[in-house]
Amino acid sequence: MVGRRRGRPLCRGRDHGSGRRPRHLHPYRHDLRRDHPLRALPLGAPRRAQPGRSRTIAVRRRAGREGAVSTTTPHASGQDDKLARQLRSIAPALISVVFLEFAISSFIPLVGVQLTLRDVPTTMIGVIGSAYFIGFILGGMFAARVLDRVGHIRALSVFAIIAIDSALLMALFSDPWIWLFLRMPSGFSMAGIWVTIETWLNHKATRPTRGRLFAIYMVVAGACSSCAPLLLRVVDPAEITLFLIIALFYAAAIVPMAITRESNPEIGDRARFGLITLYGISPLSVVACFGNGMCVTGFSSLMPVYVQKIGLTPADLAVLLFSARAGGMVGQYPIGLISDHVGRRPVILAVLLLGLAGALFGVFFGAQSFWLLVAASMIYATATWPLYALCISYTGDNCRPQDLVAANGGLLLTWAIGGIIGPTAAGWTVELLGHDGLFIFLAAVLGVLVLFTLFRMTQRTAAAPRPKTTDEPAGG
């Protein structure tokens, strides 16, 4: 009698009562080599999967039976889907960042241009600039309380309205002393805005995707900040028109977050701690943010002096700064992607070493040729500008959800303190050592950060992936 089981012929009878297929019905067995392991199996024995086969092969076979061919593993596909979902959840914040960067990056040079056109003393211009960073530090200290009280969406609206009022009042009054006091709330609002945005991103991200999400955020911010100063070429900076445009940009930044379907991140009982506690959670992030603030502001503030001392033109300076910003943007996403797969601390060490190499290249070759100076600046910026995003990601990996607001505010405060010290320290170095002092200063700061990173890697192992219910932070 011939029956069927699983679509294959099955002989049953006097000679084959066991139900096993005879040799002539066993597919391919008679073609196997004599020493093949399948020849040792009894007739009709089920074939087991051979060890060492890739999961990708199984997925490809399964997809082929369904009429499609897949070359990716389910894990990789799931990670891509998760990244896409998280991008959709942070899209309103990224759109707000576009408007905010156009406002901020055109507001800062506009203030300097207006004061210069009115023949305000250089010392007073510097004091007004310092007032902005004083407000920035205060914003980093108090932004967490606003977030805790009203949530992320309403907090962004509050800080943006403060920035709008500051811009409009500066358009109404031209007295430098009034501007001195108006720049403080402007800096306060900017710190609050960045704490709100970056905390939102940290809550929406997960450990496997956090580096890439923050890299995308930094690319968007960097691209807009590079284009924003061009508004000074389109609109006469001597008029109040640009102040009104800046206020409109701030107002437009409120809309995407106000109409989003995304709910405020669940903060729970928000932790309250200072820089000492934050240093205990992630010493490397605190020190690296401080050094990064020194390097970024020192480079931006003293590069015009360097260019003037070696005899280059303002047009050369524009090309140089644009090249540095472009290099910083190009490096953001690849570095974030690598950090998601390799780990944060090895990538932080790698970018510090590359930035140190760029600074040393500038020390020895920067003054010899304009294009060598461009190359040194691009290498330096490509490595060091993503450092802040890496520090935020690394701290987010080591924090509980209720710690993220305080942690982000602390890192921003640390960066701002470094940003205040950086231009002054770099200026002293240039005055003492000449134009090469700028790159010597950058190399010294990056060298110290390299040594500290190596020290931290010997003190504590990298943090393992943490569930959100974990109570105690861990990290390096």
Q: Is 90 exceeded by the pLDDT of residue 441?
A: yes
Average pLDDT, the chain: 76
pLDDT at 351: 92
Exposure string for 369-382, b = 16+ CB within 10 A, e = fewer: ebeebbbbbbbbbb
Rounded to an integer, the average pLDDT of 259-265 is: 74
Q: Going from the N-terminus, what domains does the chain have, and what CATH number goes with each?
A: 91-267 (1.20.1250.20), 271-476 (1.20.1250.20)
CA geometry: angle 261, 263, 267, nearest 5 deg: 165
329, 226 Cβ separation under 8 angstroms: yes
Query: How does residue 14 score in pLDDT terms, banded at 50, 70 and 90?
Result: very low
* Structure tokens that stand for 421 in this block: 């010290």
Query: How does residue 475 score in pLDDT terms, banded at 50, 70 and 90?
Result: very low
* Structure tokens that stand for 426 in this block: 């770099």
Q: Give the whole-angstrom CA distance, residue 116 versus residue 109.
A: 11
Query: What's the CA dihedral at 166, 172, 178, 179 to 10 degrees?
Result: 50
Instruction: Please name the helix (run of DSSP H) or strand (run of DSSP E) that holds residue 11, with its range, or none.
Output: strand 8-11
Give 292 or 318, the one with higher predicted confidence: 292
pLDDT tens sequence across 366-425: 888 888 999 998 999 888 888 888 888 888 777 776 777 778 778 888 888 888 888 878
SS3 label, residue 193: helix
SS3 label, residue 3: strand
